Amino acid sequence: MSVLNYREDLSLLPVVDLPHMRYFEISLFVVKPGHDKDFENLAKMYVSAYEKIPDVHWAAFQLMYGQQSGNAYAVFSPLKSASEVDRGIVTGKQFEQSMGEDGMKKLSDLSAASMESAQTDLFIFNPRESYLSEKWVAADPFWKVAGTKPAKP
């Protein structure tokens, strides 16, 4: 089990309409011991650059308990469809342009100095394997599936 601490300062427009999302892209960044400030500066550079690009959002958390606790960060990016993965390629190019050559060099240096490892995985929502609130079921027909388990009280 892990316990995560929400990091508003490292998040970008984290409030989204979750019942209408179908995927989560979850990234885990393990930070080298003693390099939390470098990683935080790196993450804030990403936030600053992506603020200028529409429809980009994520919620960042620092792991407090569990494997990698204290020196790892998890970033959750909800997606409405798999086509948003493709759109990420385009926004990545916009990001590079907004950072410029010097900014990208600084990002590269901070990444090398602060990160021990990084991994991103894509998860799909499955209503048949979900405990749902009445509000979610009412929000989108996607969640109305025979056999869907009601939320536990």
Query: What CATH number has the domain bearing residue 7?
Result: 3.30.70.100
Domain that holds residue 78: 3-125
Q: Are 62 and 150 in contact (CB under 8 A)?
A: no
Q: Is 147 inside a domain boundary? A: no
Structure pTM? 0.86
Given strand 115-124, what is the order of strands in its sheet?
A: 3-6, 59-65, 72-79, 23-31, 115-124
Please name the helix (run of DSSP H) or strand (run of DSSP E) that holds residue 23, with its range, or none: strand 23-31
Of 46-50, 101-105, 133-137, the poorest mean pLDDT is in 133-137
Q: Is residue 130 part of a domain?
A: no
**Residue 131 domain-assigned (yes or no):** no
Indicate whether 19 belongs to any domain.
Answer: yes
Please report whether residue 151 resides in a domain. Answer: no
Q: Is residue 101 part of a domain?
A: yes
Name the pLDDT band for 60 (thresholds 50, 70, 90): very high
- For residue 134, is it left (φ>0), alpha (ψ between -120 and 50) or beta? alpha
In a domain, 149, yes or no: no
Beta-ladder partners of 115: 31
Q: Stretch 111-127: mean pLDDT, rounded?
A: 94
Asked whether residue 117 is assigned to any structural domain, the reply reads: yes
Domain total in the chain: 1
